[in-house]
């Protein structure tokens, strides 16, 4: 199991950036390795979604649950089923300064690959770090235009 994190400051108020992040189907259009994101169920602040994309040249699919906390301006998410043995984390949205939002993304993951060596582990970590940064960059494009 490994953990990655990424942060980015986005021009926009916390409420605006947070609301834009909640529109995950729209956000997915800004991610080149993602082929499909579809909302399966939405009940209050709980959202289940199906994701399909490419990771290291192979197709990956999973269903995740997002738990949005409007008061705390954060979202916890975790995999329900799919190609990840473990995939969970948190988005946090905080005011950096007026009309600027700092977004922190932490992801803990396990692809369930037995006997992964140090070299492959380092490569997977780099890929996951790049994916986390790509998610933040996609949100930034979505908000800033």
Tally of domains within the chain? 1
What is the residue whose two structure tokens read 């992040």? 21
pLDDT digits (tens, 9 = 90+) for 68-124: 999 999 999 999 999 888 999 999 999 999 999 999 999 998 877 655 555 566 777
The CATH number of the domain holding residue 26 is: 3.30.530.20
Contact 89, 72 (CB under 8 A): no
Adjacent-strand bridge partners of 101: 10, 95
Domain span holding position 16: 2-144
Considering the entire predicted model, what is its pTM?
0.88
User: Looking at residue 83, what DSSP letter applies?
Assistant: S
User: In terms of C-beta density within 10 A (0-12 exposed, 13-18 middle, 19 or more buried), how is residue 115 classed?
Assistant: exposed
Within 13 Å and on the Cβ side, how many CA atoms surround 25?
A: 9
């Amino acid at each position: 199991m490994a953990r990655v994190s990424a942060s980015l400051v986005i021009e926009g108020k916390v409420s605006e950036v947070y609301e834009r992040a909640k529109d995950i189907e729209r956000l997915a259009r800004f991610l080149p390795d993602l082929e499909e994101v579809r909302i399966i169920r939405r009940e209050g602040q709980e959202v289940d979604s199906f994701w399909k994309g490419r990771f290291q040249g192979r197709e990956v699919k999973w269903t995740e649950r997002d738990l949005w906390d409007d008061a705390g301006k954060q979202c916890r998410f975790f995999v329900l089923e799919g190609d990840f043995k473990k995939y969970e984390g948190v988005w946090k949205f905080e005011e950096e300064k007026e009309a600027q939002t700092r977004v922190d993304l932490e992801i803990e993951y396990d692809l369930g690959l037995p006997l992964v060596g140090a070299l492959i582990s380092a490569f997977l970590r780099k890929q996951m770090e790049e994916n986390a940064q790509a998610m933040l960059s996609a949100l930034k494009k979505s908000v800033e235009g």
